[in-house]
Each structure stands twice: as C-alpha cells, then as structure tokens.
Amino acid sequence: MAEEIETLKNYSLKELEERLEKMSSGDFQFGKLVMIEIDGSMYEIPEPVNTLLNSLYRMYKEESKKNKPIK
C-alpha cells in the first residue's frame, strides 16, 4: 500500500487532478461499479476508486492512532 502512495507523489497536483477528472468522466473503462453512501446520499463509483478511498481511510486511521489528537 505504501508503494502506491509513494508512486503518486511523483505526479504534480495538476496531473493528479486531470487523472481523477478523466476517471470520474467515464473515459476509463473500470468495469464494476460499487455503491457508496456519503452523508445519506448514494453514489456509484468505479471499484478501483473505492479501493483507493478504503486504503486512504485505513492509512488515516493508523496514523491517527499514532498521533492522538488533543481534546
């Protein structure tokens, strides 16, 4: 998982934004779409995007355990 994130840092923010824009516009053929719920609304997203979101969430949770926020 960390290797994937390391690879992403080689791209500029503009390149990443362009890639995500293409992905969301349907220019890529992802195959299977999955449903996700955000704040009570349902969205259909490509499975690779869902996998990326899940990976980022797991990384966030792991880091937040290490750096407990001050209350």
Residue 71: inside a domain: no
CA nearest neighbour of 5 among 63, 67, 44, 45: 63
Whether the per-residue pLDDT at 60 is higher than 50: the answer is: yes
Residue 21: inside a domain: yes
Q: Return the pLDDT at 27.
A: 57
CA separation for the pair 36, 38 (Å, rounded): 7
Whether the per-residue pLDDT at 61 is higher than 50: the answer is: yes
Range of the domain at 37: 2-66
Please state the pTM of the whole predicted model. Answer: 0.48
- When divided into structural domains, the chain yields a total of 1
Q: Return the pLDDT at 1.
A: 44
Residue 27: inside a domain: yes
CA separation for the pair 64, 71 (Å, rounded): 13
